[in-house]
A and B are shown apart, each in its own frame.
Chain A
Amino acid sequence: MSSQLDTQSSKPSTALPIHIQGLTKKYGAMYALDSVDLEVKSGEFLTLLGPSGSGKTTLLMAIAGFSRPDAGSIKFGDDEVILTPPHKRNVGMVFQSYALFPHMSVAENIAFPLKLRGVDSGEAAERVETALATVQLDGLGDRDIDQLSGGQRQRVALARAFVFRPRILLMDEPLSALDKKLREQMQIELKHLHEQLGVTTVYVTHDQREALTMSDRIVVINQGKLTQTDTPHNIYNHPANAFVADFIGESTMLPLKSDGAGKLFFLDHLIESNFKTDAARDWALVIRPERLFVAEKGATDSDKSIIFSGVVSEFVFQGETAFALLSINDQYKLAFRFGTDSSSSQNILQAGDQVSLGLNRSDIIIIPQEDQT
């Protein structure tokens, strides 16, 4: 095997790509992972995003070697590792519970992987200090684990995971135990750390905002299948289906009717005039609430935008934004979100107002219509 346990301290590690093919894991009749194919680029920060039970943690555990799949191939670079035991895979791992060793000090925790690799104590102590400095915990090496705060423990878990320069880093919802402010701070710090280390990172979370903040690419997982793999920008602006559109960001979905000749209509609005598809199915229009704007009275559809008219059925002030629901024909509810700037303070809208909202055609998102199960 060419990927030996790294003992050299001065060279920056070269990251490894991960090639996953046909990965399947069943529990009885249920597929936790359904023939998953995934390419993780060398050095990228890839997030596995999905609801609980989607299979994202199972996938991460399979990469780490703790969950034995029923079939498939996992390669780190050119090496097949699916039959390799976890202690030989040389990946760094951070758990949600941190799993720090309470009977060892901070320094001993971090030095643990180095000791296992036969690094002599002098060099190990140096590398521990460097790692501590990298996570801004300088000088805390002698502390006991139970003397640390949640945020500090998180950093020790991190330091322990990268001190031995693994070429792959895996993280299972490491920030979910922290409170909101600390979490957001750590998200940025982790991003910086990733840039510094340059190591291939696979990150698991159910928090879509976290995924959007940190990732180079996001993989959306649902029921053991990968639904969409793309950059945060593309996933947000071009969701491939209802699940992704719903899971990431807010959205309203409106049903579309096809005239059979490439035109799609919502009620009497022409949404698309040249829609090419060979699938005989229904389509839906996805509208992000913040992409709507208040249109002038009497505005109508144009080749630049579509205008929806209706009555405001709800209005909620939520701090830096306000949220409203527009009732169209008493049948459809369109969600609308806008910033609350000081000049036009409270009441742009009130329940009962007759309002027209506009959507630029460039913000139109069309997805396959799925049955509500």
Chain B
Amino acid sequence: MNASAAQEPEGLNEKRLKTQGIREQRMLLSLAAPAVLAIVAVVVIPVGWLFFLSFLGSDGQFSLEHYQKMIEYKSYARTFVTTFQVSILTTLICILIGYPLAYFLAMLPGRLAGFFMLAVLLPFWTSLLVRTYAWLVLLQKNGILNDFAMSIGLWDSPLKLVHNLTGTLIGMAHIMLPFLVLPLYGSMKKIQRDLMHAAANLGASPVQAFWKIYFPMSLSGMVAGSLIVFVLCLGFYVTPAVLGGGRVVMVAMQITAILENQFDWGAASALGVVLLVATLVILFAATRLLKLDAALFGKN
């Protein structure tokens, strides 16, 4: 310990070191500038503009009329209900189908897992338009599914599987499944094998070990995946538009319809803002809850 620096209020070279540090950080962070500018130009400013528009009445003054319409008009209520319905149902279907698949993949040895993972990745990277089209073709009245089912006697007359809620759910589940399986698989892989060994050693049967230890530890990935699926479903456009046949109206479709038919930017913006706010609220609430969980039960 020395006393020479005590004569000055600050340490030796303190100012110059600080300046140098700031300059270096500035130079580094400037590398991120193009990306920042692009996002400001394409996302921040336009969405901000829309936010502003949503509060602009038809008379050009500040007004809440667009938001009021949302509470009053039945068509909006129907859209919100439908959107939530479809999102929740799709998420549930994905969980039911996705968990066994992820578990299977997690149990496989490395090379096999990589191979079978292609079954999840190939659809994931195929255009969703192409996949939606495939379901459109498959589920038609005289499509493959009806033909095949009738030929083996599952049902007698062609079922209406598309241009309705059923078709929409099938298509969306197919598209959303990888979004659930991938994070879930990730968190399952993190569960150390030692834990299952320890459970067996302490007397747990495989079923007990699974429900008491494995399942709770895989929850973080499952919740993350479900969250992603749910939030994506809320804003989804293409698949419900094509497979719903106009009977399944979700928020994104209504926004587009408002713009196409009435060119009412105020109304469309308001609806868009509601969608954004709902998305953000759900994400923040869920991440807060997850952190709470971690705090309550210790490490995940």
Contact = CB atoms under 8 A, between A and B. Distances in A.
Direct contact between the two chains A and B in their complex (CB within 8 A): yes
B17 interface: yes
A222 B2 CA distance: 16
A35 B24 CA distance: 24
B14 A70 contact: yes
Contacts of A73: 12-13
Contact of B17 (A21, A82, A225): A82
Given A21-B4, A34-B1, A225-B1, A68 B12 contact: no
Contacts of B16: 83
B61 interface: no
B206 interface: no
A21 B2 contact: yes
Contacts of A225: 1
Looking at A22, A37, A69, which has the most chain B CB atoms within 10 Å of its CB?
A22
A71 B10 contact: yes
A22 B11 contact: yes
B245 interface: no
A215 interface: no
A70 B13 CA distance: 8
Nearest to B14: A71
A233 to B, nearest CB: 25
Given A71-B11, A73-B12, A22 B4 contact: yes
A72 interface: yes
Contacts of B5: 21-22, 35, 71
A356 interface: no
Nearest to A37: B2
Nearest to A24: B11
Contacts of B17: 68-71, 82-83
B21 interface: yes
Contacts of A22: 2, 4-5, 11-12
B20 interface: yes
Interface residues of A, number: 15
Given A68-B20, A68-B21, A83 B1 contact: no
Interface in B19-54: 20-21, 24
A22 B6 CA distance: 10
Interface string A47-90: 00000000000000000000011111100000000110000000
Contact of B13 (A34, A37, A71): A71
A34 B2 CA distance: 10
Interface string B238-267: 000000000000000000000000000000
A71 B2 CA distance: 13
Looking at A70, A71, A82, which has the most chain B CB atoms within 10 Å of its CB?
A71
A29 B11 CA distance: 16
Given A68-B20, A68-B21, A82 B13 contact: yes
A83 B13 contact: yes
Contacts of A82: 13, 17
Looking at B2, B10, B11, B18, which has the most chain A CB atoms within 10 Å of its CB?
B11
B222 to A, nearest CB: 36
A192 to B, nearest CB: 36
A302 to B, nearest CB: 41
Interface string A20-44: 0110100000000011010000000
Interface string A82-104: 11000000000000000000000
A82 B14 CA distance: 11
Interface string A232-261: 000000000000000000000000000000
Looking at A34, A70, A73, A225, which has the most chain B CB atoms within 10 Å of its CB?
A70
Given A22-B2, A22-B5, A71-B5, A35 B11 contact: yes
B27 to A, nearest CB: 12
A70 B16 CA distance: 9
Contacts of B10: 71
A70 B11 contact: yes
A35 B21 CA distance: 19
Contacts of A71: 5, 10-14, 17
Nearest to B5: A22
A227 to B, nearest CB: 11
B3 to A, nearest CB: 9
Contact of A21 (B12, B14, B18): B12
A35 B18 CA distance: 16
Contacts of B24: 68
Nearest to A226: B1
Nearest to A82: B13
A58 to B, nearest CB: 14
Interface string A211-237: 000000000000001000000000000
A71 B14 CA distance: 4
A263 B183 CA distance: 71
Contacts of A72: 11-13
25 contacts: A21-B4, A21-B5, A21-B12, A22-B2, A22-B4, A22-B11, A22-B12, A34-B1, A35-B1, A35-B2, A35-B5, A35-B11, A37-B1, A68-B17, A69-B17, A70-B11, A70-B17, A71-B12, A71-B13, A72-B11, A72-B12, A73-B12, A82-B17, A83-B17, A83-B20
The 7 lowest CB-CB distance pairs between A and B, nearest first, are A71-B11, A71-B14, A22-B5, A22-B12, A73-B12, A37-B2, A72-B12
Given A22-B4, A22-B11, A69-B17, 13 more contacts: A21-B4, A21-B12, A22-B12, A35-B5, A35-B11, A37-B1, A37-B2, A68-B24, A70-B17, A71-B10, A71-B17, A72-B11, A225-B1
